[in-house]
Amino acid sequence: MKTTCLTTFLVAAAILASPSRATADEGIWLFSNFPKDSVRQKYGFEVTDGFLEQLQLGSVKFVGVASGSFVSPDGLLFTNHHVAAECIQQLSTKENDYMRNGFYAATLAGERKCPDLEADVLLSARDVTAGVLQGVSPATETAEAGRIRRANIARIEKDCSTSPELRCEVVTLYSGGEYHLYRYRKYTDIRLVFAPEVGIAAFGGDPDNFTYPRYCLDMTFFRAYENDRPVSSPNYLRWSRTGLRDEELIFVSGNPGSTGRLNTVAQLEFFRDMSYPFVHARLNALIKALQRYGSGSAENKRVAADNLFSQQNSYKAYTGFLLGLRDPKLMQLKRQEEAKLRGAVAKDPKLEADYGTAWDRLAAAYKEYAEFYKPYTLLESSAIGGSDLFRIARHTLRLAEERSKPNEQRLREYRDPALPGLEASLYADIPLTDSLETAVISAYLSFLRQSLGASDPTVKEVLGGRPPEAAARRYVSASRLKDIAERKRLAASAEAVKASDDGMIRLARLLDSRARELRKRYEDRVESVVTGEGARIAQARFAVLGSSAYPDATFTLRLSYGPVKGYKSSAGKDVPYTTTFEGLYKRATGREPFALPPRWAKAKGKLNLATAFNFVSTADTHGGNSGSPTVNTRGEIVGILFDGNLESLPDRFFYTDERARSVHVSAEGIVEALRQVYGTERILKELGF
């Protein structure tokens, strides 16, 4: 596998200086900088401003989750089942397990409101680099420059947020080379309309995840409401009636989470040697804890299912990222790419004076980061991942304190523009299971002790002389944060939350002082350097290579394109571009995770087994693109992205199109299933069938 991919990487490195990169459809493009000329020259298709505007306004971002789209004029939303899984799980009970059995609202009145979900549409984006950098000069000390930038961002976002239905966010692009202000129309009343059974939505489970061929109906329909009525969504994306063809050009509009293609070698080495192995180990420990918990009973398995899937998905993704970073030949290519850019800078006295030291300064920052990365990650940036109860406790504690500060001095997640969304999430009525929370927090405390050592002051404080499981049980059992009124009472008063004897609030307090110290060190000594020096490297890249390249992904709206296209496996076997319903039934064994839901077994005789089910394309996508609409040149939905194959995971750092593929559910397969398996005539009619 690696040898073949290396050929592609060598070609890519050789043409680095060419902005067009004509040999591949690489790019996670801003809508404002889409390569129209490249598409026209290669595919003969004219991408118009109207095409881009329709796709932008028809696409949505599920905040903190992934992507989706409007697919009817009455607010019908289309996304993946795994994007919707948290809502589906929250609405489920032991008696009504919508994850296992699926959900369909046969009437508008039957649509169920998600406790905690927001869908945003990007209305506009504009360059605010000058405003963000106001007051920052080359002589400004690094940490102070970071504080000035953060204060400017807070002011810009607050000035933009002029009404409750708007959300504004300043986005860092090109590692700090540019800053853009994104203005969103937000929808906070999102209701579940249809979801298939998890057995078909995630057919093949963890073994098939990040592989191809696939057979997943990974889709769900929501609806956006306002004032208890479906919203009007005139910019919806129409559904294709013709399906798709081999080699057909498609476009994918969504919100890829993050990539590292512009990272320096020092950053990639830090990820390879420090951060990714640590995250990998933490995820592995949490997965084992969730599996142990789920084996206790059928109900345990149900309540832990979404959490387990999420952690397994992340673990497998990091496995793929590490495969790329640990390939010495691939890293050598990145070194050559960086050396080429630095060499060009060194040859120009002005460029050398302006940018020559940036790489070394950034490397020094990461060397320092390695000294405190583990405690910072465990106590601040990823503290007790997988625990809803701790998330609630930390936000309750910090909201009370941060709200008393001037807006520009608060932690970013507590500034005025972010508060409505934060409070909606904090006060959402979601199911909280004490036994699951105890298992997750116990696993965290064990990993904390293992990573920082039993003699670490914070470890000693949070354990209080008890084993991790006993300490976790004590914190959870003494908490009253299931009561939303109690959350609101504590979050409204810094004095009340400081005096509270609530178990989870006490745990949050024990972590908070050191966590804040580590965050300040990170912001002053690492983030500020990365932003400042990253901006200098970006400017150097602009000076040498031009400014037509795309920035790394930032969980904001981007557009990718490429043909529907199969590939050859590492064994030289042809992998067709599409799978069919016939292949699904051949793949089914009757045993999890390859067991079909009962209604699928009954429906086999009614289905057109030749119908396309899943398909692959060369579109350049990444995590966060899940749920992205896949459209043809007429702007019609031909599918929905839900995954990539294993070969695509190193694309986080190095794009290839030889075997790396994005994986989609076919729109015609969805219609066939809705009609023949589920009988959802109301939805089919709304889609225009």
What is the average pLDDT score of the chain?
95
Q: What distance in Å separates the CA atoms of residue 326 and residue 334, rounded to the nearest whole number?
A: 12
Q: Is the distance from CB of 615 to CB of 245 less than 8 angstroms? A: no
Point out which residues pair with 110 in neighbouring strands. Answer: none
The tens digit of pLDDT for each residue in 218-244 reads 999 999 999 999 999 999 999 999 989
Q: Is the distance from CB of 153 to CB of 176 less than 8 angstroms? A: no
Q: Is the link from the previous residue into 650 a cis peptide, with omega within 30 of 0?
A: no
122: enclosing H helix or E strand: strand 119-127
357: enclosing H helix or E strand: none
Q: Is the distance from CB of 625 to CB of 641 less than 8 angstroms? A: yes
Question: Kindly report the CA angle at 295 between 294 and 301, in degrees rounded to 5?
Answer: 35
Where are the extended beta strands (E) located within 539-618?
Answer: 558-563, 567-568, 574-575, 578-580, 612-617
The dihedral over CA atoms of 619, 624, 630, 635, expressed in degrees to the nearest 10, equals -110
Q: What distance in Å separates the CA atoms of residue 664 and residue 578, rounded to the nearest whole number?
A: 9
The tens digit of pLDDT for each residue in 150-190 reads 999 999 999 999 999 999 999 999 999 999 999 999 999 99
Q: How buried is 615 (Cβ within 10 angstroms: 0-12 exposed, 13-18 middle, 19+ buried)?
A: buried
The tens digit of pLDDT for each residue in 493-524 reads 999 999 999 999 999 999 999 999 999 999 99
Domain ranges of the chain: 2-118+188-260+551-686, 121-187, 265-325+357-534
Q: In the predicted model, is pLDDT for residue 18 greater than 90?
A: no
Q: Once rounded to an integer, what is the mean pLDDT over residues 13-25?
A: 45
Q: What is the pTM of this model?
A: 0.94
pLDDT, position 10: 28
Q: In the predicted model, is pLDDT for residue 14 greater than 80?
A: no
The tens digit of pLDDT for each residue in 618-647 reads 999 999 999 999 999 999 999 999 999 999
CB 591: neighbour CB atoms within 10 A?
7
CATH of domain 2-118+188-260+551-686: 2.40.10.120
pLDDT, position 546: 83
Confidence of residue 23 (pLDDT cuts 50, 70, 90): low
Confidence of residue 548 (pLDDT cuts 50, 70, 90): confident
The dihedral over CA atoms of 456, 458, 459, 461, expressed in degrees to the nearest 10, equals 120
pLDDT, position 5: 34
What percent of the chain shows pLDDT beyond 70? 97
Radius of gyration over every alpha carbon of the chain, rounded to an integer in angstroms: 25
pLDDT, position 75: 98
Q: How far from the centroid of its chain's Cα atoms is residue 182's Cα?
A: 17
Q: In the predicted model, is pLDDT for residue 9 greater than 50?
A: no
Confidence of residue 1 (pLDDT cuts 50, 70, 90): very low
